[in-house]
Structure formats: C-alpha cells, structure tokens
Amino acid sequence: MEKSALISATYYTIYSIFIFYQQSLTRNFRGSSQTFLSVITIFSAIGMLGQLAYFFYYGWNVSWLESLAICAGSIIVGAIAGGILERLSVFKWFETDGLIS
C-alpha cells in the first residue's frame, strides 16, 4: 500500500474505534435521558453509514483491494484496541449513572 493508503487506514481505524464506543454507550446506557440515548443512537447509525460510504467511495475511486484491506485491518486493530481499552476501563465514565441523567 502507498503512504496515502496507510494514512487513510489510520484515520479509518481511529474513526472505527470512536464508532465502537458510541455503539457501546448505546448498548450499556443507564442514564435516565431517553433523548440523549436517541441522539447517541442516531449519531452511531450515521457514523456506520459514513463508514460504509467511505468504504465504497475508496473502493470505487482508488482500489477495491485496498478498500477491503483497510476495512479488514480496521476491524482487526479496532477489535484489539477495543478489547484493551475495555479491559483498562477507559471511557467507563461515560457509562456511569450520575453523569448522564
């Protein structure tokens, strides 16, 4: 892969990790504000649509093979990073009862 593809893969992976945490917050939401839950759910769905749009855009304009490699690498790195951050309890303060009420 070229340098630009590696940069694109890096940004795509970081974006995927943020989307993962939005989805995690939606699944584990314990706050009382259903409006906030709705907003997070909508933004999570928009984020997933953005990822799919980028996947197809990059595949159509650059290379489908690179697009698949970026997507697969993002899934692997995101799973590893998500597992590590989950074990370290990073971002758990988002899911507390008192923060979002």
pLDDT at 101: 46
The predicted pLDDT at position 23 comes to: 80
CA dihedral over 43, 48, 54, 56, signed as positive or negative: negative
Tokens coding 75:
């899934």
Q: What is the pLDDT of residue 90?
A: 59
Instruction: Determine, yes or no, domain membership for 13.
Output: no
For the chain, how big is the Rg over CA atoms in Å? 16
68 found inside a domain: yes
Q: What is the domain extent for residue 77?
A: 33-101
Angle between helices 34-61 and 64-87 (to 10 degrees): 150
Supply 50's token pair: 């953005």
Per-residue model confidence (pLDDT) at position 49:
92
Total number of domains in the chain? 1
Q: What is the pTM of this model?
A: 0.69
Nearest CA to 57 out of 41, 76, 71, 75 is that of: 71
The list of the chain residues with pLDDT below 70 reads 1-2, 89-101
